[in-house]
Amino acid sequence: KAVVSTQSTGVQEEQVEKAFNILTRDPAVKAIFVNIFGGIVDCKVIASGIISACQKTSLELPLVVRLKGSNMDAARDLLASSGLKIQAIDQLNDAAEAVVKCVM
C-alpha cells in the first residue's frame, strides 16, 4: 500500500481522526491522500479534522489533500495557515501525481 484515498459525502471531524489513526498504524502506508468531492461536504469541517488528526497522531507521513465542495476556499486557507506539512492541491490529477512522488 503506497497511497490511501478516502472519499465521503458526510464526514465529521472525528471520523477523519479515526481514519488517520487506522492509517498511521499500518506500516505499509507510505502516504495519505485525502480526496473529498461533493457539494454537500463542508470542506472546512474536513480541514479542521485533518489538522486535528495530524496534531493528535503526530503525523509524519506525507499528506496530500484535495477538497472540492462548500467552503473549500476557507478550508484551503485553514490548511495553509496550520503550519503543518500538508500539500493542498485543487486538481485531482495534480494531487494524485503529488502523492505518487511522495512515495517514489
Q: Any bridge partners for residue 37, and if so which?
A: 68
Q: What is the pLDDT of residue 18?
A: 86
pLDDT, residue 4, reads 46
Q: Give the residues of the chain that fall short of pLDDT 50.
A: 1-9
- Which H or E run includes 63? strand 63-70
Residue 37's pLDDT is what?
83
> Residue 91: which of 49, 40, 35, 50 has the closest Cα?
35
Distance CA 5, CA 89 (A): 14
Distance CA 45, CA 4 (A): 20
Residue whose C-alpha cell is 505499509:
28
Predicted model pTM:
0.83
